[in-house]
Amino acid sequence: MAGLRCPLLGALLIIIVGVVRCSPKCFPGDQALGKCGESTSEKGTCADNTLGYCDDLPYSKAIFPNLLDHRSRGDVEFSAEYILLSVLDNLLQGECNPDLRLVGCSILAPKCEKNKIVKPCRRVCQALKKSCLPAFEAIDMAWPYFLDCDRFFVGEEEGCHDPLEKLRVNVEITSEDLAPQTPYTLIHFTHHNYNQMVSILKKTAAKCSNIAKTYSIGRSFEGKDLFVIEFSNNPGQHDLLEPEVRYVANMHGNEVVGRELLIYLAQYLCSEYLLGNTRIQTLINTTRIHLLPSMNPDGYERASEEGAGYNGWTNGRMTAQNIDLNRNFPDLTSEVHKIMKVRSARVDHMPIPESYWWGKVAPETKAVMKWMRNVPFVLSGSLHGGELVVTYPYDFSKHPLEEKMFSPTPDDKVFKMLSKTYVASHPKMSDQSTERCGGNFINRGSIINGAEWYSFSGGMPDFSYLHTNCFELTLELGCEKFPTEDELYPAWQDNKESLLSLIEMVHRGIKGVVKDEHGNPIKNARISVKGIRHDITTGEDGDYWRLLIPGVYVITAEAFGYSKVSKKITLPARMMKAGRVDFVLNRVEIKTRKYDKLIPEDIYDRYDPLDSYDPHAQAGQREQGEGDEQSQDREKPWWWSYFSMLGNNKPSWLLKNN
């Protein structure tokens, strides 16, 4: 999909060609609808669709003139409509991509059958408009006229087609899948492509509908849903004091063992629960578990083209946009290394620097960041491949030249305990004697601080720890990134117990609720532990979880406008359940605003592109320009400059109130 996708080139050419061709007398598209006297008399013929931005439509033959009366491929390429489709992904910051482009393409390069136009379905247009209109509102752009669901789209009875069919995954759930008498699931220890993966997740959720649910956290660049399956006794909602855990796999598209393990784990949790396995029932009854088997489904596709067993080291690692997702998160760690020298500094809930949004943020990264913010995760594992070792934050070195160097977090002891738990149940990681990959880490017990192994910034675990309440480990599951199928069952055997026991670790340390004197929950209260410069905050219902190793601690709860309360606690060595420590804080009069350690109320609202994004804070760029046209444009929205080369044919239909 490279090459042709250069909007500026297209835009340049329209000055020469476009002005001559376009007749501005009637509203674009009206001609095709016979509203402008002279109507399209010549009949079109089906031809191969060669439009660069539309080359992934689910059909290959298109027809000209199209629905907007463009007579040739050239006409389309020099049209404002086509330029809009080519830049829309940028303008909308990846939102609604690629659906919007494909639906637009179905108008610009309409499906052709027997030399006749087959129109796209109205319901597809309506659904798209519903979900994408907010993105247009956010950049103050009118809904494009050629995506008018009534004018260019038709109903099923008229034989419409679905331009998004490739993006949809159809899963048939048969009654056999739901038969209650067969809780036992035969897990197929094979590789699963995208559709197979989604199908298994949905079938599993259907079979265990009381305890499981699938949902999508967003889309990959190429439009694949990032599906999560969650397990809990109340799927779909957070329960007070119930901790939440996530596993994320395949963020490097060519590291596939974790992806398969999570697909197997989902089936295992479902069938063992139904079979009455007490341990699994207890786990699911007390924990909310989210599994994202593939964070980079586009990269997986590329990697799997090479075939399993081919140990391509890098092909498919990146996303379709060539982004390494484990370098794409905001780098908060370099700031931490600076402020740690200040004795009172605490490192938690650090804001995302504004400059981060000026760079390229992958839709996959954005989806995961939104997810991290919406769910009160406590513990996480990120599953990788290529080595056999567990690493823990920081991944970014505190060495001034970023050389490898032990760079611990204030919670180093907790991270070590979590890492050891994973290793202890893993026969290959804990085996000191075998010839195995990961030999480098044998004398370290298969655990290493990330930065001590090698330093990198923009990783997911550092971000998780420094921006949210969640502690994340990196699990490197073996030397082969894309092994052959015969190695998958052994990989499951090696990791199953470790994956379960790491989830169980979320029940260590303490948890509780912070309330005011009237019993109302206080959200965003800080829970601090004396001697550990990393605070945890309470969630919507005032609940919190604080992972800790056994020992004696002084715990303090505080919140803006409330008194501060401290408690001394002892966590015994054999702790299997989080200790319950609740707090009641009294309202106090605030005399001075000297609560700089507290989270400002607006911390999450300040940089809010994740929730209600403002893609162009940098709208000021156009200001140097002079001349008539420029001054006319001065009142126009920032994105107007994308069409500046269109001369008199600028798409005024994108302006609101016009």
Query: Nearest Cα to 245, choosing from 527, 511, 502, 540?
Result: 502
In whole angstroms, how far apart are CA 538 and each of 298, 447, 533, 570, 594? 36, 30, 17, 21, 21
If contact means CB under 5 to 8 A according to the sort of partner, which of ligand NAG, Zn ion, none does residue 648 touch? none
In the list 281, 430, 501, 641, the residue contacting ligand NAG (rule: CB under 6 A) is 281
Question: Quick one: residue 614, left, alpha or beta (phi over 0 = left, psi -120 to 50 = alpha)?
Answer: beta
Binding mask 176-215 for ligand NAG (x = CB under 6 A): ----------------------------------------
Q: In what order do the strands lie in the sheet with 111-113?
A: 45-48, 61-64, 111-113, 116-118
476 is catalytic: yes
Binding mask 208-237 for ligand NAG (x = CB under 6 A): -------------------------x----
Q: How far is the CB of 572 from ligand NAG (least distance, A)?
A: 23
Q: How far is the CB of 284 from ligand NAG (least distance, A)?
A: 7
Q: How far is the CB of 500 from ligand NAG (least distance, A)?
A: 15
Asked if residue 2 lies in contact with residue 630, where contact means CB atoms within 8 angstroms, the answer is: no
Number of Cβ within 10 Å of residue 82's Cβ equals 27
Number of Cβ within 10 Å of residue 452's Cβ equals 17
Give the separation between CA 140 and CA 655, rounded to whole angstroms. Answer: 8
Query: Nearest Cα to 229, choosing from 205, 206, 207, 253?
Result: 205
Nearer to Zn ion, 457 or 524 (CB): 457
As given in the structure block, the two tokens for residue 395 are 């991944």
- Which residues ranging from 232 to 271 are in contact with ligand NAG (CB under 6 A)? 233
In the list 192, 203, 384, 507, the residue contacting Zn ion (rule: CB under 5 A) is 384
Give the separation between CA 576 and CA 553, rounded to whole angstroms. Answer: 18
Nearer to ligand NAG, 281 or 430 (CB): 281
Q: Is 285 in the site for ligand NAG (CB under 6 A)?
A: yes
Nearer to Zn ion, 207 or 246 (CB): 246
Asked if residue 451 lies in contact with residue 398, where contact means CB atoms within 8 angstroms, the answer is: yes
Q: How far is the CB of 180 from ligand NAG (least distance, A)?
A: 15
If contact means CB under 5 to 8 A according to the sort of partner, which of ligand NAG, Zn ion, none does residue 233 touch? ligand NAG
**319: three-class secondary structure by DSSP:** coil
Nearer to ligand NAG, 232 or 498 (CB): 232
Query: Nearest Cα to 333, choosing from 275, 440, 266, 405?
Result: 405
Give the separation between CA 574 and CA 114, rounded to whole angstroms. Answer: 75
Q: Is 278 in the site for ligand NAG (CB under 6 A)?
A: yes
In the list 252, 288, 349, 534, the residue contacting Zn ion (rule: CB under 5 A) is 252
> Looking at 476, 480, 497, 626, which residue is catalytic?
476
Nearer to ligand NAG, 138 or 211 (CB): 211
Nearer to Zn ion, 384 or 534 (CB): 384
- Interacting stretch for ligand NAG, rule CB under 6 A, among 124-132, 275-283, 567-575, 647-655? 275-283
The residues that touch ligand NAG, with contacts defined as CB under 6 A, are 233, 278, 281-282, 285
- What residues are labeled active site? 476
